[in-house]
Amino acid sequence: MKVNPVLLIILDGFGCRSESAHNAIAMAAKPNWDSLWNQYPHTLIHASEGEVGLPKGQMGNSEVGHLNIGAGRVVYQEYTRIDHAIESGAFFANPMLKSAMKSARDNNGALHILGLLSDGGVHSHERHIHAMLQMAADEGMDEIHIHAFLDGRDTPPKSAEISIARMQEKITEVGKGRIASIIGRYFAMDRDRRWQRVKSAYDLLTQGKAEYTAASAQEGLAMAYARGESDEFVKATAIVPKGESPVRMKDGDAIIFMNFRSDRARQLSRPFIEPDFSEFDREVVPKLSAYCTLTGYSDEFDVLVAFPPERIRNGFGEYIANLGLHQLRIAETEKYPHVTFFFNGGEEVSYPGEDRILVPSPDVATYDLKPEMSAFEVTDKLVAAINSQQYDAIVCNYANADMVGHTGNVEAAKRAIEVIDVCLGRVVEAQLARGGEVLVTADHGNAESMLDVTSGQAHTAHTTNLVPLLYVGKRRAELAGTGALEDISPTLLKMMGLAQPAEMRGEPLISFE
């Protein structure tokens, strides 16, 4: 089957905001982007809130964005599903959660609730952790330990005090439970195989082994701030009230991991559930009675799953694979799961005719130290793939605007945008030279808003701003006035000359003369 070859470029974290103050995208020198934007059809589309299956006011994120883009329809997110389950009461009757707690009770074990204690709503929501504590108390669990991972990335850098206070209020209300440890997500939620970070979290959870000890979570946080650590980077801290011992996991205990987003929960899960785990030496390996994850983290994990994923049929990748077409997914490590796992509907599947290129992300502590990340290497491989003329559709993600935007460093974020611009120029030129067309968009905003004007702190989170949609090709075309991420796959299919499957409820935003 002969189709028009298309290239989808997802500029992660590249939102649109009219004000230029504290806007790294507006402040950056980007001649290629400006030229393309002025020369070719473009519009702004929605990437947050209800348009991507999230609650009102909730910013989009990379997982949600790529799910919606690849599915060609609004995908109602686990966040929303779990909220609805709590509101309806179904959460408190969830059979997997009940099973985990029964296993602990039958073995005289404690319940350990792990998760990102945050109202950011990207990887977790503290409201769900509160509900879990309530359920555990209602189910008769006597020993409940909360291991709080601190955010500061999808929330202001120093905002954990409020979340900890709300958690303490809930503990007081139900009359059970205690915060047993705190640690920044930098350690507990690494996804780039920096196993020494994960080990510090694992040792804290299993042994109460920590660099620091505090009598309360509030005291531990204050100590971290005094050391110059923001929430994301809080070092392992065991919470040990006067006269008590650090919490240690023992045989028969059960774990419930409360993050609903999978990509940053997988690595920490592995040493608990893999008998032959070898990424670091485990000094203690508790024989858990149950390990339950709030959502499905991986098809390879043999664990209880409270809210299994809902199957997405006939997304972009599956649909064109069934037509016998060839496709490529390419990104660096930070966003590789998004152009593969999430773009394919949250399934560990590679379709026939689907090739993948993973470019390693640089090994730096934070990406403001190397705002280029691996964009140039991604571009080299992408241009080579275009020139090979093997592919009918290519999906590429550039991580820079998002990952550097998360650091809050405006100058580094500007540099990140300028690097993307250079890469964009090379890639578009190559695709046009081979007779192809390009669609450029973003999965959510970030780098366009680098200051939280309310708190005066660096803005390190995503935004609810609209994102760009830009068509680059030799045909005369128009783009609709607005749309959402669900419309991107239908738009790509129309560019390719293909009908969209019935399962896609998005609309093509492009029309050709």
Cβ neighbours of 315 (radius 10 Å): 26
User: Helix-strand-coil percent breakdown of the chain, rounded to 5?
Assistant: 40, 20, 45
- Domain coordinates in residue numbering, the chain: 6-75+316-512, 79-307
Which residues lie below 8 Å from residue 143, measured CB to CB, with a gap of 6+?
Answer: 109, 110, 111
Q: Which residue ranges in the chain fall short of pLDDT 70?
A: none
- Six token digits for residue 482: 């607005």
**Category of 24 on φ-ψ map: left (φ > 0), alpha (ψ -120 to 50) or beta:** alpha
- Compute the distance between CA of residue 419 and CA of residue 417 in angstroms, rounded to an integer: 5
Which residues lie below 8 Å from residue 158, measured CB to CB, with a gap of 6+?
Answer: 152, 225, 230, 231, 457
Residue with tokens 């409940």: 144
- Compute the distance between CA of residue 115 and CA of residue 265 in angstroms, rounded to an integer: 9
- Tell me, what's the pLDDT at 348? 82
Q: Taking a C-beta distance cutoff of 8 angstroms, is the pair 168, 179 a contact?
A: yes
What sign results for the dihedral spanned by CA atoms 74, 77, 80, 84?
positive
Catalytic residue among 62, 163, 181, 200: 62
- Tell me, what's the pLDDT at 347? 84
Please, what is the angle between helix 62-71 and helix 488-496, to 10°? Answer: 40
- Compute the distance between CA of residue 186 and CA of residue 438 in angstroms, rounded to an integer: 35
Q: Which helix (H) or strand (E) holds 428?
A: helix 410-433
- Tell me, what's the pLDDT at 456? 92
* 14 Cα distance to chain centroid: 15
Burial class, 192, CB count within 10 angstroms (exposed 0-12 / middle 13-18 / buried 19+): middle
Q: Which helix (H) or strand (E) holds 108?
A: none
- Tell me, what's the pLDDT at 37? 99
Kind of pairing, strands 327-332 and 304-307?
unpaired
Cα Rg of the chain, angstroms: 23
Residue 359 dihedral angles phi and psi, to the nearest 5°: -105, 120
Question: Virtual CA dihedral for 490, 492, 496, 498, nearest 10 degrees?
Answer: -10
What sign results for the dihedral spanned by CA atoms 185, 189, 193, 197?
positive
- Tell me, what's the pLDDT at 1? 86
Cβ neighbours of 11 (radius 10 Å): 28
The string of pLDDT tens digits covering residues 100-120 is 999 999 999 999 999 999 999
- Compute the distance between CA of residue 133 and CA of residue 91 in angstroms, rounded to an integer: 12
Closest CA to 375 of 441, 425, 338, 411: 425
Cβ neighbours of 5 (radius 10 Å): 22
- Tell me, what's the pLDDT at 309? 85
CATH of 79-307, one of 3.40.50.300, 3.40.50.360, 3.40.1450.10, 3.30.70.1230: 3.40.1450.10
CATH of 6-75+316-512, one of 3.30.70.100, 3.40.190.10, 3.40.720.10, 3.40.50.150: 3.40.720.10
62 is catalytic: yes
